[in-house]
């Protein structure tokens, strides 16, 4: 495990998946999903990881880029999720600790999980004042797709949170649109207004029910902007999430159960919320979505900040 600190904050990472394992605010751990047990087979596969090459779902077993069909390795029925069966969360990342930062790097070879191009990925996490930040970048040797994010599960109540306690967290999102999906949670191809629906988080309110949905953020892609606020009503603890990306996947841990171990005991369904700032899922198959195509000579970048009060 790799630990970095700043006054009031402490972050613990594992090299396996460049994974955020624990995050303490004034001594209280508010990240869930990964035990300190070194046996990776016991871990939730995605909890805390730096997701890639392409976070989220890609339908149709692949996509077309510049007129050429790209067939991916699927890990779901007919589609790929979070980069395939051996995505970035299933690799040991090279790492170097420097003061209050940890620098992770990973080279994904040409053809890895079906993706073209040798991809060099970097994930730098740092602590500064009351915030943690991540700088996620990648370059490629061939035209490809990239969508990197962090998949940590949060509950500002801390370790006492149990089953369904994610629903008690209050959330506000600067998102006036969301992605309607199929039963397999694959986007239908349009963006719908949140007005008058359960997806309207434009004002701070309790989460209240299960979600596994993508929210399209208001504002310009590529510019750092506040996209989400989470508040614990009991303690008053708040977290702001900022990103340069255009969307957030918002997931209340529907698949968790007592069969999965956590740090203080088994995980519980709807115990915490994955907040994943990223591009929209299935962008390679939807030309009207923001592009996730990346070409040689360019740099993919997603900056994320988590600010605490």
- The DSSP code for 202 is S
The pLDDT score that the predictor gives to residue 93 is 98
Contact (Cβ atoms closer than 8 angstroms) between residue 211 and residue 167:
no
Mean of pLDDT over the chain? 96
Tell me whether residue 276 is one of the annotated catalytic residues. Answer: yes
For residue 283 the two structure tokens come to: 């962008």
**125 exposed, middle or buried (CB, 10 Å; 0-12, 13-18, 19+)?**
buried
Three-class SS state of 166: helix
The predicted-structure confidence for 201-225, as pLDDT tens digits, reads as follows 999 999 999 999 999 999 999 999 9
The pLDDT score that the predictor gives to residue 263 is 92
The pLDDT score that the predictor gives to residue 264 is 85
Query: One of 82, 91, 151, 268 is an active-site residue; which one?
Result: 151
The predicted-structure confidence for 242-266, as pLDDT tens digits, reads as follows 999 999 999 999 999 999 999 989 9
Tell me whether residue 91 is one of the annotated catalytic residues. Answer: no
The predicted-structure confidence for 71-90, as pLDDT tens digits, reads as follows 999 999 899 999 999 999 99
The predicted-structure confidence for 223-237, as pLDDT tens digits, reads as follows 999 999 999 999 999
Give the pLDDT mean for 95-99.
94
The pLDDT score that the predictor gives to residue 120 is 98
Contact (Cβ atoms closer than 8 angstroms) between residue 281 and residue 58:
yes
Query: One of 170, 240, 245, 276 is an active-site residue; which one?
Result: 276
In the predicted structure, residue 239 carries a pLDDT above the cut 90: yes
Dihedral sign, Cα of residue 197, residue 241, residue 79, residue 71 = positive
Residues 6+ apart with CB under 8 A from 67: none
């Amino acid at each position: 495990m790799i630990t970095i600190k700043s006054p009031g904050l402490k972050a613990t990472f594992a090299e396996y998946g460049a994974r955020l394992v624990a995050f303490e605010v004034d001594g209280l751990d508010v990240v869930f999903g990964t035990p300190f047990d070194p046996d990776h087979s016991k871990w939730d596969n995605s909890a805390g990881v730096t997701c890639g090459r392409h976070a989220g779902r890609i339908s149709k077993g692949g996509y077309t880029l510049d007129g050429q069909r790209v067939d991916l390795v699927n890990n779901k029925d007919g589609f790929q999720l979070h980069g395939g069966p051996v995505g970035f969360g299933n690799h040991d990342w090279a790492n170097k600790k420097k003061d209050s930062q940890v620098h992770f790097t990973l080279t994904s070879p040409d053809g890895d999980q079906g993706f073209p191009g040798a991809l060099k990925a970097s994930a730098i996490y740092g602590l500064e004042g009351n915030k943690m930040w991540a700088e996620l970048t990648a370059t490629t040797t061939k035209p490809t797709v990239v969508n990197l994010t962090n998949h940590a599960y949060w509950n500002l109540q801390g370790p006492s949170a149990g089953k369904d306690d994610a629903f008690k967290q209050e959330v506000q999102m600067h998102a006036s649109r969301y992605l309607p999906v199929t039963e397999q949670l694959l986007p239908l191809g349009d963006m719908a207004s949140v007005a008058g629906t359960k997806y309207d988080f434009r004002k701070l309110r309790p989460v209240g029910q299960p979600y596994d949905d993508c929210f399209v953020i208001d504002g310009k892609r590529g510019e750092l902007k506040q996209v989400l606020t989470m508040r614990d009503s009991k303690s008053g603890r708040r977290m702001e999430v900022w990103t340069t990306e255009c969307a957030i996947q918002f997931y209340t841990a529907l698949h968790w159960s007592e069969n999965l171990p956590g740090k203080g005991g088994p995980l519980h369904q709807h115990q915490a919320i994955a907040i994943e700032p990223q591009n929209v899922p299935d962008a390679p198959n939807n030309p009207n979505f923001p592009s996730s195509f990346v070409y040689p000579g360019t740099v993919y970048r997603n900056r994320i900040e988590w600010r605490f009060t």
